[in-house]
Amino acid sequence: MEQNILKTAELKTTQKRRLLLLLLQKQQRPTTAEELYEKVNPLVAINLSTVYRNLNTLTEKGILSRSISQDGKAYYSLLSQGHGHRLFCTSCNDIISIDSCPLGELQEKLEKETGYRILDHSLEFKGLCPKCLSKMDK
Amino acid sequence: MEQNILKTAELKTTQKRRLLLLLLQKQQRPTTAEELYEKVNPLVAINLSTVYRNLNTLTEKGILSRSISQDGKAYYSLLSQGHGHRLFCTSCNDIISIDSCPLGELQEKLEKETGYRILDHSLEFKGLCPKCLSKMDK
DNA sequence: TTACATGCAAATACTTTGCATATAA
DNA sequence: TTATATGCAAAGTATTTGCATGTAA
């Protein structure tokens, strides 16, 4: 499975790459290099540079998408999981994925108004998750 | 003008703060600390730390808004200029402001679906500006 | 006069890079 | 066998912080 992805991208199938892809697949939300490092390391010793290098390679190959969040960190997710955005809690840092994306129309309108050719966008919501909200009531 | 803003925020009116606010007002787009530093410095010697410290203070006071861009840098703009987003050219780094924001409805829908209380969002478009597009044709 | 603002240097956080070694194909 | 992957240490970039000094009110 991960093997096919890597073969198609003409990348060597290493255990660490497979693990990274596996974890990104399991993960139902965009993930940072640090988080992946913490999860891979107990299973197979890996260097943080290796994590970053692989995330970059996979992003260049179009397998992952990278998005810089308002916390200044890069979040990665499998591109096969489709176009999506983030909603995160400013209190506990919980992150969930948003699947819907209503920006197509706006994007067309903007292209007409500005003359730009728009190639990508990023969208992120922040607020308080239900758990943190209920804690605040008490 | 800048003086009033600062007085209201209970901040001392220094020449550097006035200049920073003045430049942000002139600037019709979100601006980085580095850019402001380059513009203030020829007029009045200023330290980059001072720029950062003031941008932070003004953001905390609700006078500026800070938004982290996909280039990993923080962009600041006067909040009085209203809620807006960025569109930037990946080729020449030109940045323009987008005034319309169609996310209110989506935000409400998301709050219902997720139980989150959404407090803020960030949206950024990237692509190629008209100038860079025409260069590519040649 | 005094609390706040600034400069300077050092520290921090995230990410990248150079080089030697290891390993998939 | 050979091009690619990895580890390790060092460097890079954006930003923050501690401390001494300067300055608006």
For the stretch B19-50, pLDDT in tens is 999 999 998 789 999 999 999 999 999 999 99
Contact B126 A133 (CB under 8 A): no
Stretch B114-127: mean pLDDT, rounded? Answer: 88
Burial of B40 (0-12, 13-18, 19+ CB in 10 A): buried
Distance CA B2, CA A117 (A): 37
- pLDDT averaged over chain B? 89
Residues 6+ apart with CB under 8 A from B39: B23
> What six digits make up the tokens of A27?
């993960």
Cβ neighbours of A44 (radius 10 Å) = 11
Q: Above 70 in pLDDT, residue A5?
A: yes
CA distance B66 to chain A (A): 9
- Rounded percentage of chain B residues whose pLDDT exceeds 70: 98
Please give the pLDDT value at position B102. Answer: 78
Banded pLDDT at B79 (limits 50, 70, 90)? confident
Helices (H), chain A: 2-8, 15-26, 33-40, 48-60, 104-114, 130-137
Strand partners, B95: B88
Terminal-to-terminal C-alpha distance of chain B:
47
8 Å CB contact between A19 and A26: no
**Beta carbon of A56 within 7 Å of strand C?**
yes
Is B90's pLDDT higher than 90?
Answer: no
Interface A-B, measured as beta-carbon pairs within 8 A, has a size of 107
B128:A116 CB<8 A: yes
Residue nearest to nucleotide C14 (CA to C1'): A73
Q: Between B88 and A83, where is the model more confident?
A: B88
End-to-end Cα distance, chain A: 47
Contact A115 B124 (CB under 8 A): no
Each residue of A21-60: pLDDT tens digit? 999 999 878 999 999 999 999 999 999 999 999 999 999 9
Report d(CA B40, CA A122) in Å as an integer.
31
SS3 B29: coil
Residues of chain A (8-37) having a beta carbon less than 7 angstroms from strand C: 12-15, 32-34
**Among all residues of chain A, which has the CA nearest to that of B85?**
A123
**Distance to chain A for B31, nearest Cα, Å:** 16
The pTM of this model reads 0.88
Closest chain B residue to A86, measured at CA: B121
Considering all nucleic acid strands, name the nucleotide whose C1' atom is nearest to the C-alpha of residue B72: D14
For residue B102, give both structure tokens: 């169609």
**In this complex, do A118 and B124 lie within 8 Å of one another by their Cβ atoms?**
no
Q: What is the pLDDT averaged over residues A80-106?
A: 80
CA distance A110 to A106: 6
Mean pLDDT throughout B6-28?
94
Sequence-ordered list of residues with C-beta below 8 angstroms from that of A12, at least 6 positions apart, any chain:
A6
Q: Report the pLDDT value the prediction gives residue B137, as an integer from 0 to 100.
A: 66
